Chain A
């Protein structure tokens, strides 16, 4: 992982985990406050009071049942003391039942366990569940010892409600006791879940950011390679974003650097070859005249009678003079190559260049056809609008002439009886001015497309291999490029590209 990636991940992690820590802190405080609203001492006290009230109600009922039992005892004793008749007790018991709601039955039992009188309430038609207990009282009203059993009942729901209230108050008091920790539990569960979510988000963020950081680190690595001299580096631009634009700009910069370096290297090589040509021309040119003069002198000053020898001398002189003439021509071309001036650029129109070439076409055709015009169709074209470039018209014309002459020669050799075509046209496209020379000749093998621009490389018997080298040098000095490929007609296509002048 690069330092850049680590920094990006650190920044992401810092921001998300700070947010997490802050949210847990705030959530904890908020939860405590919310919890305190719902679970507080006041509510707890009220619940306890509720339980106490229900308990008090039951205790009061119990006390009431004792008091009712006492009252029944006193009433029975009073009745027996007054009337001394047990037969009147039944009516009294019915009256007592009507008086006391909680009493369900009353029995008066003597010492022999004989029920002397009894009364009971009819069962509740609704069948409400009740809890029943019997309060017994001993009595001796003077007619013998009696036992008075008073059965009282209260609805079971009173007891159930007490239990329910007790359970709620119990849980509530537990919640109250655990108040702080409950809100902490919520905060921590929230925190842990949020942490897991953020962890997943962080991992996704890391993966996504890695795609970005990788492109940046790739750029850094590519820059290091370029710095070390490797200009073949090219990076994929990928998505449409600022990094893609940066990558594209980087690729363009590397391509420009590569082109510039190629241009400089080529011009340096041409310069070296020019220097070599200059020395060669100088070294060859000087002895040519003495060689020629010596051969002439040997031939002219021979006074002997040997005619055979004289013929040999004359033949040798002719060969020497012919080869010296050839060497002079080579020396002339070498010398011209060596003295090739640098291009003097000025604003010009490519169409005018095409028109000026048009004038020299008949002479070239005649030269190639050895006195008669070669049967080649040469077409030159240019648009109606001028194509403004900065160029040295004379030097560029010389270059285009060179290519045109080569094309006409090649087409003539392939189609000596006619049918050969050469097209020269100028046009502009995407900020570049083009001069295209193409033909329907035999073309050039693809493996030689780069080599043809090297000095002294030629496929012609009488060629010096300097023509296309001069063309390339001239075009490079114009800040342009010359390329060779296959023409649609099957022959060769030379394309000279020149930067258009910026519109003012």
Chain B
């Protein structure tokens, strides 16, 4: 019993420590119909190398993940993710940006960054999630990634060799995670705020 209690205390301390390590940034949070709408900019993800890669003519991916957490907890009470597939059009000047099933052409890289990394009024989580947490402290965490390889694509690109040995599939799974993770990522969190009553 004492061991379990100590483990819980350690876990909470570790979570709190982990949260405190994320850099703090101003996030605009408004509430609409019981759900949070978050606004922020992650344009600083696009450093010089990222900009060069985005202009290479090869399809690159920008993914932004926003999650809502109870203060002192890692549990995600709300999650929202969206990604842009950005391809510079080598045939004609401009960029082809694909978000979900929608495509649009943008003339400059700055427009692309504004479209993909500057978020205005993004709904995060469902009203039901916040309904139960009224008055409690929460915070929003943001992770912006440059060019993570999607799970599906990663599975297609890195396959275990056919065979009955268990080493291959397990190793390939671990290698996939490492190989397919984002080439560059930034994380930050907003200030702790209370869910309105």
**Contact residues of A with B, CB < 8 Å?**
51, 55, 58-59, 61-62, 131, 133, 154, 159, 162-163, 166-168, 170-171, 174-175, 178, 181-182, 185-186, 189-190, 193
Bound-state CA distance A181–B178 (Å) is: 9
In the assembled complex, how far is the CB of residue A475 from the closest CB belonging to chain B, in whole angstroms?
Answer: 73
**B170 adjacent to A170 (CB under 8 Å):** no
**A189 adjacent to B170 (CB under 8 Å):** yes
Besides the contacts A55-B90, A189-B171, what 17 more A-B pairs have beta carbons closer than 8 Å?
A61-B91, A131-B91, A133-B91, A162-B57, A162-B90, A163-B87, A166-B57, A167-B58, A167-B157, A170-B147, A171-B157, A175-B179, A181-B178, A185-B174, A185-B175, A185-B178, A193-B166
In the assembled complex, how far is the CB of residue B179 from the closest CB belonging to chain A, in whole angstroms?
Answer: 5
Chain B 172-197 interface 0/1 with A at a Cβ cutoff of 8 Å (1 = within): 00110011100100000000000000
Q: Which 5 A-B pairs have the closest CB atoms?
A: A166-B58, A189-B171, A174-B179, A186-B171, A58-B90
Hey, which chain B residues are within 8 Å of A170, CB to CB?
A: 58, 147, 149
Bound-state CA distance A319–B156 (Å) is: 126
Bound-state CA distance A484–B36 (Å) is: 104
Interface of B is mostly: loop
Q: How many residues on B have C-beta within 8 angstroms of the other chain's C-beta atoms?
A: 23
Chain A residue nearest to B158 in the complex (CB): A171
Q: B56 an interface residue at 8 Å Cβ cutoff? A: yes
Bound-state CA distance A212–B166 (Å) is: 34
**A193 adjacent to B167 (CB under 8 Å):** yes
Bound-state CA distance A437–B153 (Å) is: 99
Hey, which chain B residues are within 8 Å of A178, CB to CB?
A: 175, 178-179
Bound-state CA distance A170–B167 (Å) is: 25
In the assembled complex, how far is the CB of residue A172 from the closest CB belonging to chain B, in whole angstroms?
Answer: 10
Hey, which chain A residues are within 8 Å of B92, CB to CB?
A: 133
Interface of A is mostly: helix
- A-facing residues in B86-108 (Cβ within 8 Å): 87, 90-92
Bound-state CA distance A106–B177 (Å) is: 51
Q: Report which of A58, A131, A182 forms a contact with B175, defined as CB distance below 8 A.
A: A182
In the assembled complex, how far is the CB of residue B175 from the closest CB belonging to chain A, in whole angstroms?
Answer: 5
Q: B115 an interface residue at 8 Å Cβ cutoff? A: no
- A-facing residues in B120-173 (Cβ within 8 Å): 147, 149, 153, 157-158, 166-167, 170-171
**A163 adjacent to B59 (CB under 8 Å):** yes
Chain A residue nearest to B58 in the complex (CB): A166
In the assembled complex, how far is the CB of residue A114 from the closest CB belonging to chain B, in whole angstroms?
Answer: 26
**A58 adjacent to B91 (CB under 8 Å):** yes
In the assembled complex, how far is the CB of residue A392 from the closest CB belonging to chain B, in whole angstroms?
Answer: 80
Bound-state CA distance A368–B183 (Å) is: 120
Bound-state CA distance A163–B57 (Å) is: 8
Most buried by A among B58, B174, B178: B58
**A62 adjacent to B90 (CB under 8 Å):** yes
Q: Report which of A59, A131, A163, A182 forms a contact with B58, defined as CB distance below 8 A.
A: A163
Hey, which chain B residues are within 8 Å of A174, CB to CB?
A: 179-180, 183
